[in-house]
Amino acid sequence: MTIVSMLVNIGGQEYRDGELALAEIEEVVARLGDGVSTSGPAPGDFVAACEAADTGEGVAVLTVSRRMSSCYEAAHLAAQLLEGEREVAVVDTGAAAGSEGLVVLAASRAAQEGRSLRDVVAAAKRAARKARLVATLPSLEHLARGGRVPGAAAWGAKWLGLHPLFEFEDGKARPLRPARSARLAYGHILEAFYRDLARERSTPGPLAVHVAALHAVDEAVARDLLAQVSARTELATAFIGSFSPVMVVHTGPGLVGLAWWLERDHPCP
């Protein structure tokens, strides 16, 4: 598994996402109003990653939603450049953050089981269709600024003193009914998860529950959400994911959420 990092520019200095320490992430937060910018990797970055990762059986490249980033286009161009040399399958996961992470883990499990590239891609697409992410933020201002939610939703929540919630769906953030406090917002996130879980459990058969708790410089709340879920539900996958600088630039600080994928136990098609 190889990560092709996005880039963040702070004060004219460019960094690869994931290279910055916590103190530098906090600097990003402090300087969000000073024109901190981000950019996607170049096609050459994907070419190098594919060449390094391929052991002769091909490479699956899983990108963040193409509606949010240029990553898919860059990866697709890289696949064209490598055509004839090696097999590269590019998949737009339609996801981001923890939900994309769950898709990547599904593909990785299929690869570790020795499945073909075609089956690895099928496993990723199957997870991508079902993965869900619900989160809350102190403000939707940063998402609205980047065109990821309607500006009216961001300003309405701000002036009414409400705590916004959103769901990442079909490659973009969709505002949900806001809550009157952060505590109630966390409760709504858990309710959404338990509703999905109850619906899936109403159908007989094995069910694997995969959950990621997400945060942008607020790990304690994410850890508590995951603890509440794991206390009531056996989890096949459970991890806490901290937002990276590139992600914080687009959401602002204070995000907390859950991503989940409820997997029916059947082999890859």
Cα radius of gyration rounded to whole Å, the chain: 19
Q: What is the pLDDT of residue 108?
A: 95
Q: What is the pLDDT of residue 11?
A: 73
Q: Does residue 237 have a pLDDT over 80?
A: yes
Q: What is the pTM of this model?
A: 0.85
Contacts for 148 with CB less than 8 Å, ≥ 6 apart: 68, 172, 173, 250
8-12, 61-65, 166-170: least confident range: 8-12
Contacts for 27 with CB less than 8 Å, ≥ 6 apart: 10
Q: Are 6 and 69 in contact (CB under 8 A)?
A: yes
- For residue 44, which amino acid is it? G
Q: What is the pLDDT of residue 161?
A: 59
Q: Does residue 154 have a pLDDT over 90?
A: no
Q: Map out the domains of the chain with their CATH numbers.
A: 7-129 (3.40.50.10170), 132-264 (3.30.1180.10)
Q: What is the pLDDT of residue 229?
A: 97
Q: What is the pLDDT of residue 248?
A: 76
Rounded mean pLDDT of the chain?
85
The secondary structure of 88-121 as a DSSP string is: EEEEE-S--HHHHHHHHHHHHHHHHTT--HHHHH
Q: What is the pLDDT of residue 30?
A: 66
Q: Does residue 152 have a pLDDT over 80?
A: no
